[in-house]
Structure 1
């Protein structure tokens, strides 16, 4: 397996505003989403919010720089409600080196509050794997890392690898996409699991203006397979 490494900037991120949809594996609409992205110089703030029909909330914000390579500066995640077995509000800041987590194992459990020091490696891409995939050269694989909260923050290596070239349809227009597999390299964490990690796949439109098309996989660690699609 390749060593994790920062992803070079081939295509800079800019201002964006979109409305993705979250569905179950069977196609049932679970949540309406909103993606807002603002660029100030070479620093980008991207926020993805899903508001579920059952009242649950998934709110993920990442601030990153794009100077030669992509690098996360700040990360914040909020997930709560009946669609999630655990409630989490977590944040990490590269500049201060601090993290904070508010965690509840279930609705009947007491809230745990954790804080401490955490060093963000340069190859962490939580909340921006789609950006990393858009910047891979055709046929290129990469190993990066993400942060998972258990509830303490832990680093997990992730292999991003092209799987196939797939024909999809957006509206009535056929497009040619690259399907990537996103495979966590769990190491010792794997021995703690009683079930296999669900497969994760992402479809990206390549070319001079690459774009995210579709995602299939868990939205949280060991969660069910959901789909994120363009509205």
Structure 2
């Protein structure tokens, strides 16, 4: 993405929310997360395999540590670490994201921590730009859920939408409201089995000015199998703001 375009998008994002966002109600825990290890695959829309993933999730009492890594064939890296509490409601405790390599327009390492109220961002716009480091204070509202959107979808009452927030590193961290909305009931083929799923649409709730500047934001879609043991089956959307549509599933 051209540097000028990136700059325009960052300006637009600065109009998304105010400096002190109003928190909505946190999402209640209906299904607790347990120990897990899986190997998701990231593909292009045409089906080309772009990256092999690994997801490791370990609960320690009411606190869960989760790490998702995608190692791209072109040498790029996507590394996301989430620590959250699942006592009565889901609460993000800390978050760290690393993305670098030719599959991404910028190199970024960003982190936020609820207990310390601190953030740190290391950012490099392109290969010829110097690395920038930003540090400061951040007060995380109770409904901030970086890295947890699919977990929330598994816990939302059937048919009910929810609005939450994420921290977007632009590179300075900003809060962006996200609408999680069940859109349709789909049958998804998993090997030889047709699985009933709910297709969720995730869309940022932009202010008027940002909406005028960015009219073609792609929808993010997630497919969740419901029932007594809900499960994530597929993701389609960009991994970074205004990025290409990629697909994540288990095969």
Q: Shorter-chain TM-score: what band?
A: over 0.9
Partners of 1:86 and 1:4 in 2: CA distance: 31
Residues 189/13 of structure 1: CA separation in 2 closer, same or farther (3 Å cut)? farther
Counterpart check, 1:25 vs 2:19: no
Q: CA deviation at 1:191?
A: 5.1
Structure 1 residues without counterparts, runs of 5 or longer? none
Residues 188/77 of structure 1: CA separation in 2 closer, same or farther (3 Å cut)? farther
Structure 2 residues without counterparts, runs of 5 or longer? 1-22
Which secondary structure state, in structure 2, belongs to the residue aligned with residue 35 of structure 1? strand
List aligned pairs for 1:59-208, cutoff 5 A: 59-187=79-207, 190=210, 193-194=213-214, 196-208=216-228
Deviations 1:119-152 (A, max 9, x none): 1111011111010000011111100001110000
Judge conservation of contact 2:24–2:142 (CA < 8 Å) in 1.
Answer: no
Partners of 1:188 and 1:120 in 2: CA distance: 24
More strand by share: 1
Counterpart check, 1:213 vs 2:200: no
User: Where do 4+ consecutive residues of structure 1 move more than 3 Å?
Assistant: 191-195
Which secondary structure state, in structure 1, belongs to the residue aligned with residue 74 of structure 2? coil
Give the TM-score of the pair, scaled to structure 2.
0.89
Alignment partner of 1:44 out of 64, 68, 71: 64
Judge conservation of contact 1:216–1:225 (CA < 8 Å) in 2.
Answer: yes
Partners of 2:213 and 2:244 in 1: CA distance: 15
Partners of 2:164 and 2:113 in 1: CA distance: 19
Which secondary structure state, in structure 2, belongs to the residue aligned with residue 47 of structure 1? strand
Which secondary structure state, in structure 1, belongs to the residue aligned with residue 153 of structure 2? helix
Q: CA deviation at 1:5?
A: 2.4
More helix by share: 2
Q: CA deviation at 1:27?
A: 1.1
How many residue pairs end up in the alignment?
A: 229
Q: CA deviation at 1:188?
A: 5.7
Q: CA deviation at 1:221?
A: 1.3
Q: CA RMSD in A?
A: 1.3
Greater Cα shift, 193-202 or 34-43: 193-202
Q: CA deviation at 1:21?
A: 0.3
Residues 178/6 of structure 1: CA separation in 2 closer, same or farther (3 Å cut)? same
Give the TM-score of the pair, scaled to structure 1.
0.96
